[in-house]
Amino acid sequence: MQIIDTHNHIYLPDFNADRHEVVKRALDAGVWRIMMPNIDSSSVVPMLECEEQFPGICLPMMALHPTSVKENFRIELDAVEKALQEHKYYGIGETGIDLYWDKTFIREQVISFRQHLRLAEEYKLPVVIHARESLGLIIKELQDFGAGRVKGIFHAFPGNAADAHAVTGMGFMIGIGGVVTFKNGRQAEAAIAAGVSNIVLETDAPYLAPVPHRGKRNEAAWLTLVINKLSEVLALSPVEVATGTSENARRLFNL
């Protein structure tokens, strides 16, 4: 199987002790691309160092994470645009709106998200959207921006079947990862509604490890567990799930 992990923070310090071993396990499991979403200006150097260590495997994206939107967000957004001018990136990510931890900067998060949508359109790159406790607001922002102007992924898809129909109807993929293996999670329902033609795989490593590793540091090799769960949910073979989702990611990121 050829698998693409569309969302992995493998450049974080969580992997400093054994990053090469983690990448080797990923390759052995069939994961041949690891897409790396940026967080803020502090994460750019380690992310690009990771790209240099694993050329053609670990591929960077550029954005300001919504939880990093603070008083200095305009300086950070300027840094994002400057980075896009100086280096090749494969997506605008991760951006979005997060209303789970703190609503202090909701206005600034919305402004930041709108700027990322403009950058995605300008640079003709897919946008990777973080939508924690904000799915309805983000859908409205995308509708206001204009249907079909950008494409991308709803990372760690938080919605139900109706939400899945709404976002795929706008031309977006839904990101499915370890959460689909959790009891009482809604990702299985969303995956059924979306169908394999609208799904990409992701880990969000080091976070959101699948069962039976829940609570541990996540890694790309464990996407095989997500594939097995989706195989069961969608009544497809693991190879069909891996092939279909990877083809979706390949097209989206122009790999």
Inform me whether the pLDDT recorded for 101 exceeds 90. no
Which whole number is the average pLDDT over 218-234?
A: 98
Cα separation, 232 vs 36, in Å, equals: 28
- State the average pLDDT over residues 10-31: 98
Instruction: Give residue-wise pLDDT tens across range 142-165.
Output: 999 998 999 999 999 999 999 999
207: nearest Cα among 170, 155, 141: 155
Which residue has tokens 């909701």? 106
Residue 233: Cβ within 10 Å count: 16
Per-residue confidence (pLDDT) for residue 186, from 0 to 100: 87
CATH number listed for the domain at residues 3-253:
3.20.20.140
> Per-residue pLDDT tens for 42-90?
999 999 999 999 999 999 999 999 999 999 999 999 999 999 999 999 9
Q: What is the mean pLDDT of residues 16-40?
A: 98
The continuous run of DSSP H or E covering 240 comes out as helix 238-253
What is the pTM assigned to this prediction? 0.97
CA distance 163 to 180: 16
Per mean pLDDT, which range of 28-42, 183-197, 199-213, 236-250 is the poorest? 183-197
